[in-house]
C-alpha cells in the first residue's frame, strides 16, 4: 500500500485547468497590491482552521 497515489487531479489537463484558473484570478485583480492583499487574506483564512487541528495531524 502506498501513501500517495496520484489520480486524475494531477493529470496534465487538470493541472493546465488549475493554472488557467489561477491566471484568470490574478488577471482579474485591479492591481498587484490587490493581488497581494487577496493572497494575504487567503492564507490567513486557510491558516486558522489548520491551526485548530491537533498538533500531530498531517494534512
Read off the pLDDT of residues 7-43 as tens digits, 9 standing for 90 and up: 888 888 888 999 999 999 999 999 999 999 999 999 9
pLDDT confidence bin for 59, thresholds 50/70/90: low
- What is the radius of gyration, based on Cα positions, of the chain? 16
Q: How far does CA 55 lie from the centroid of its chain?
A: 21
Structural domain boundaries in the chain: 8-52
User: Residue 33 is placed in which grid cell?
Assistant: 497590491
CB 41, CB 47: distance < 8 Å: no
Of residues 2, 42, 5, 44, the one with CA closest to residue 25: 42
Amino acid at each position: 500500500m502506498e501513501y500517495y497515489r496520484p489520480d486524475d487531479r494531477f493529470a496534465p489537463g487538470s493541472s493546465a485547468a488549475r493554472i488557467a484558473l489561477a491566471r484568470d484570478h490574478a488577471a482579474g485583480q485591479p492591481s498587484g497590491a490587490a493581488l497581494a492583499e487577496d493572497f494575504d487574506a487567503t492564507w490567513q483564512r486557510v491558516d486558522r482552521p489548520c491551526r485548530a487541528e491537533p498538533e500531530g495531524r498531517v494534512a
